């Protein structure tokens, strides 16, 4: 029996920048998805999700297109298989697999990328493909585009596959260069799930993406073809030329331009363990997502307030938004007290059941030890 683990992630800063060729800073967290698998002698792939109590079967030798598959987790598995098969020109080995997860699904912690990463690592091992991590991440991203219909950037898959324990992963999504940035050991990472499920996330996500492209088109008219993505717009150029872009694309673009600058400033603050600067940047990121990008909601705003009131170094929404979770950085010495207070403050003002997870920054996906 083989076992693969693949972590979820929180993003410390750099939200909705990864499909604009920008910068992100995710951390793989100690909430993981596991796949237990037995290779078969044929190309059948039977996957049972313990989380959902649901089973599906695929024939890897004749993978159907996504629209012929039931909606749900089997599309991610089929997508990974399809992309790896296309890339390698091989038919993968069938498996009997059981899937379980401590990650809440749809909470903005990338359970979908964890699922994809787990199967990518599984087939890489069984079929001795020896693909590098970045290639696996790109194939998982393609799977999510083509089989789940979400035109996501590379962040989630890269985080689940490339992170190192104790570090955040700085990823330049244009060059795909990465850098491991140590997290001060006195800081704990807390995931604060608002309990509010995301609504209409896919369509809103794809709409934001289209609005960013619209802003790029308008900026090209004045700045020329050198603007390929919002990544190419500096804070100064943004201040000067964004007023020429129509609303709401103008505010969407303002968020992205500002957020890229905040990631770079945050990197510097993290290296210096500068709590005041980390806090200011996380709060500015949240405010920009709330007011300009309009992907927050009352519960996420309340959760950020509750975390700050409970003494967090900083807090912001994480993931696509419209519900889901916040990330907070907390002094380890104050962690117990923080968890109690933040929960009390949030409950006093929100109708949903929150869940708090104190997480470690862990290694990206791999075969389980032992
Ligand atoms: P997120 O990635 O933020 O958790 P998504 O909507 O992108 O949210 O992905 C959630 C989907 O991923 C679920 O609806 C399900 O289809 C699939 N999924 C993730 N983990 C599991 C699991 N353990 N069992 C079954 N399906 C899963
Ligand atoms: Mg996802």
Q: What is the pLDDT of residue 132?
A: 98
Phi, psi of 306 (to 5 degrees): -60, -40
Q: Architecture of 2-182 per CATH?
A: 2-Layer Sandwich (3.30)
Domain positions in the chain are: 2-182, 188-359
Angstrom distance (rounded) from CA 112 to CA 114: 5
Cβ of 123 less than 6 Å from ligand 1: no
Phi, psi of 170 (to 5 degrees): -85, 120
Helix (H, G, I), strand (E, B) or coil at 316: strand
Helix (H, G, I), strand (E, B) or coil at 298: helix
Phi, psi of 263 (to 5 degrees): -60, -45
Protein residues with C-beta less than 5 angstroms from the ion ligand 2: 112
Cβ of 95 less than 6 Å from ligand 1: no
Question: Which atom of ligand 1 is nearest the CA belonging to 150?
Answer: 7
Q: What sections of the chain are H helices per DSSP?
A: 73-88, 111-126, 133-148, 155-162, 201-223, 235-241, 249-271, 275-291, 298-309, 335-349
pLDDT tens readout for residues 114-160: 999 999 999 999 999 999 999 999 999 999 999 998 888 899 999 99
Angstrom distance (rounded) from CA 196 to CA 295: 13
Angstrom distance (rounded) from CA 29 to CA 22: 22
Give one DSSP letter per residue of 98-145, joined into a string: EEEESSPTTSSS-HHHHHHHHHHHHHHHHTT----HHHHHHHHHHHHH
Q: What is the CA(100)–ligand 1 centre distance, in A?
A: 11
- Cα–Cα nearest to 192, from 5, 28, 354: 354
- Alpha carbon 346 to chain centroid, angstroms: 24
Angstrom distance (rounded) from CA 171 to CA 150: 20
The CA angle 346-349-354, to the nearest 5 degrees, is 40
Helix (H) or strand (E) holding 332: none
Instruction: Show the tokens assigned to 164.
Output: 């190192």
The span from the first CA to the last CA of the chain, in angstroms, equals 11
Do residues 81 and 92 lie in contact, with contact meaning Cβ atoms separated by under 8 Å?
Answer: yes
3-state secondary structure 207-249: HHHHHHHHHHHHHHHHHCCCCCCHHHCCHHHHHHHHHHCCCCH
156 tagged catalytic: yes
Cβ of 108 less than 6 Å from ligand 1: yes
| pTM of this prediction exceeds 0.85 | yes
Label residue 149 exposed, middle or buried (CB < 10 Å: 0-12, 13-18, 19+). middle
| Domain covering 188-359, topology | Alpha-Beta Plaits (3.30.70)
Angstrom distance (rounded) from CA 347 to CA 6: 31
Phi, psi of 238 (to 5 degrees): -60, -45
271: Cβ–Cβ under 8 A, 6 or more apart, which residues? 181, 182
Cβ of 109 less than 6 Å from ligand 1: yes
Q: What is the pLDDT of residue 81?
A: 98
- Cα–Cα nearest to 296, from 168, 159, 194: 194
Cβ of 99 less than 6 Å from ligand 1: yes
- Alpha carbon 89 to chain centroid, angstroms: 29
Instruction: Show the tokens assigned to 319.
Output: 């993931």
Angstrom distance (rounded) from CA 224 to CA 82: 38
Q: What is the CA(349)–ligand 1 centre distance, in A?
A: 28
User: Which mean pLDDT values do the consecutive 10-residue runs of the chain (370 residues) have?
Assistant: 97 96 98 98 98 98 96 96 98 98 91 98 98 98 94 93 98 97 98 87 86 97 95 96 97 98 98 98 98 97 98 96 95 98 95 96 92
Q: What is the CA(105)–ligand 1 centre distance, in A?
A: 5
Query: Which of 21, 124, 156, 301 is an active site residue?
Result: 156
Q: What is the pLDDT of residue 200?
A: 61
């Amino acid at each position: 029996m083989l076992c693969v683990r693949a972590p979820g992630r929180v993003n410390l800063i750099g939200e909705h920048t990864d499909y604009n060729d920008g910068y992100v800073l995710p951390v793989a967290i100690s909430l993981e998805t596991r796949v237990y698998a037995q290779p078969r002698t044929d190309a059948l792939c039977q996957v049972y999700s313990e989380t959902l109590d649901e089973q599906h079967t695929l024939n890897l030798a004749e993978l159907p297109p996504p629209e012929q598959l039931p909606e749900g987790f089997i599309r991610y598995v089929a997508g990974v298989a399809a992309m790896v098969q296309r890339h390698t020109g091989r038919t993968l080995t069938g498996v009997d697999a059981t899937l379980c997860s401590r990650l809440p699904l749809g909470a903005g912690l990338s359970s979908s990328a964890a699922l994809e990463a787990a199967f990518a690592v599984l087939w890489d091992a069984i079929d001795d493909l020896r693909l590098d991590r970045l290639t696996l991440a790109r194939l998982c991203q393609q799977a999510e585009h083509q089989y789940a219909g979400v035109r996501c950037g590379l962040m989630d898959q890269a985080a689940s596959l490339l992170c190192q324990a104790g570090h955040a992963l700085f990823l330049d999504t244009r060059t795909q260069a990465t850098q491991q940035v140590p997290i001060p050991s006195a800081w704990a990472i807390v995931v604060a799930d608002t309990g509010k499920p995301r609504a209409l996330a896919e369509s809103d996500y794809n709409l934001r993406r289209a609005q960013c492209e619209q802003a790029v088109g308008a900026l090209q008219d004045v700045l020329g073809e050198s603007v390929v993505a919002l990544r190419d717009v500096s804070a100064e150029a943004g201040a000067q030329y964004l007023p020429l872009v129509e609303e709401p694309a103008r505010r969407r673009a303002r968020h992205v331009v500002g957020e890229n600058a905040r990631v770079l400033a945050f990197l510097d603050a993290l290296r210096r363990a500068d709590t005041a600067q980390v806090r200011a940047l996380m709060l500015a990121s949240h405010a920009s997502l709330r007011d300009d990008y309009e992907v927050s909601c009352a519960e996420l705003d309340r959760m950020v307030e509750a975390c700050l009131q409970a003494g967090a170094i900083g807090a912001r929404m994480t993931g696509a938004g419209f519900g889901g979770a916040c990330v907070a950085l907390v002094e380890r010495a104050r962690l117990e007290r923080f968890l109690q207070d933040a929960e009390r403050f949030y409950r006093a003002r929100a109708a949903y059941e929150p869940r708090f997870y104190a997480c470690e920054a862990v290694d990206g996906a791999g075969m389980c030890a032992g």
